[in-house]
Amino acid sequence: MQQSALRALSSRESPSDEKAALAWLFTIIRNVWIDQTRRRAVRDLAETGPEDEAPGSFRDDMITTLAVKQALSALCPTDRQVLVLVDLEGRTYREAAAIMGVPTGTVMSRLSRARSRMLAAIAADPAQNPDLETR
């Protein structure tokens, strides 16, 4: 913001019309933002270097997403329901309990067990977990 003000004040010419002046100021602000974003990107690239970038990161993200989806579909319906309500939809324990028709403590214990089963399914070797292979 200070950079924008500095550029506007150091300009030799400025529009005299109020509407044109407002557009001119927004253009300055936008250009300052673009310049700062470019500088940040160049600085970040210089700090990390292109060799630090993981070449298969998109592929790895896709594999992780698929593994999570497969593990979620392999869970029993109650485990899946509580995970979806709390972890994916972001509902509170109380809201999930009302939807499921169970006490809040039951939601908490089911969620704990469901998370443990989910992590175990993701970490398991696919050869040892036939449910994950077939789906």
Express each pLDDT in 4-63 by its tens digit. 788 788 888 888 888 888 888 888 888 888 888 888 877 776 666 555 555 556 777 778
* Domain match, 15 and 43 both: yes
Under 8 Å between Cβ of 82 and 114: yes
Per-residue pLDDT at 27: 85
The helix/strand count (H/E) of the chain reads as: 7, 0
Q: What is the pLDDT of residue 97?
A: 93
Q: Among 101, 102, 99, which Cα is nearest to 89's?
A: 99
Q: Are 73 and 105 within one domain?
A: yes
Can you give 116-130 as a three-state secondary structure string? Answer: HHHHHHHHCCCCCCH
64-94 confidence digits (pLDDT tens): 788 888 888 888 999 999 988 888 888 899 9
- Among candidate residues 52, 72, 91, the one where a domain is terminated: 52
Q: Output 132 or 80, whichever has higher pLDDT.
A: 80
CATH number, domain containing residue 113:
1.10.10.10
Question: Residue 79 belongs to what domain range?
Answer: 57-134
